[in-house]
Structure 1
């Protein structure tokens, strides 16, 4: 018979070394992961608003009539003031008055933002209306999207009177 002892498992020292290495790796990786999640969230939210603005413009051209996007807290009327982070609606605005009237179709409802991010425009920008030619005359706006990291990681969506939107990173006012 062979009297060699066969060890199964780990010693306490091996276990402590492994846990120490894992703890060090996690302490380095956690902040990077948090930044990754925040960056992904703000990019997705910026793209969501951008696509809704482009949908509004497209619908105005397609319908040969005005279409409006406005902040909305209930998904059926323009009720959000200048705070867009609680959601928005895109609707066919046949009379161009910026309000959802009887018979006007709500095309899209934008969901409220998560993660505590804020999206707002300057005072007075309660809506954006596109005309049948795709212009947003009189509705040039800057949308400021911010998270807890401040201005350096913010997004600005800038809409001009011709209906063109451009985005800038780190230039929004938070």
Structure 2
């Protein structure tokens, strides 16, 4: 007489198996440990990410400003005529086909935007870049208002003559990061020589430029 083979019982029916009938999962302690680790990672990573973003903005602003000052100088030499770069009170007008203009008063912060225009009359008071034979060359829109870019003598305009020299002599600009003090590593001194050469360095006070 043959003996029927014994088939193994499914795990949930095996009475002698430890933990039989219970689903595996994450315990409360494991969850708390995971949350604690994530909190530590965020505490370390978020400031580093913010630092990287601010540093990138500093580099972008100084690069844009230095490049546009150099462009204004090059345009003056190429055109054999005066070219001006000035702070603007309404650079957004350019986005809708309007004409941005130089700020005559107030608005010493170049972060509000600037324009470059051909200025054949070499006027230091002309604010509309499309009159008196002038031509608008470039527009820089308003930037992050956490930053301020101002010169030590409140310059709103630089004019380059045909030899590439400025009408303002040596100029000292400061790029400040408003949420922080002057001891911040994000402050910069931007020096523009009378010949139009731009030098960017760590902030060194209002007299940073020789």
Give, in whole Å, the separation in 2 of the partners of 1:156 and 1:116.
17
Equivalent positions of 1:61-140 (< 5 A) are 61-75=77-91, 76-79=100-103, 81-98=107-124, 99=126, 100=129, 102=131, 103-140=133-170
Deviation, structure 1 residue 30:
1.6
Give, in whole Å, the separation in 2 of the partners of 1:124 and 1:46.
18
Which residue is equivalent to 1:17? 33
- TM-score, normalisation: structure 2: 0.75
CA offsets, 1:51-95, max 9 Å, x none?
111110111111111101011111321115422121111110111
SS of the counterpart of 1:16? helix
Larger mean Cα displacement after TM superposition, 68-77 or 137-146: 137-146
Deviation, structure 1 residue 123:
2.9
SS of the counterpart of 1:161? coil
Structure 2: stretches of 5+ with no match in the other structure: 1-9, 13-19, 92-99
Q: Indicate conservation of the 8 Å contact 1:151/1:171, yes or no.
A: no
Aligned pair count? 173
Q: Indicate conservation of the 8 Å contact 1:155/1:172, yes or no.
A: no
Deviation, structure 1 residue 7:
4.2
Deviation, structure 1 residue 32:
1.8
Which residue is equivalent to 1:168? 201
Q: CA RMSD in A?
A: 1.9
Structure 1: stretches of 5+ with no match in the other structure: none
Deviation, structure 1 residue 5:
5.5
Deviation, structure 1 residue 150:
2.4
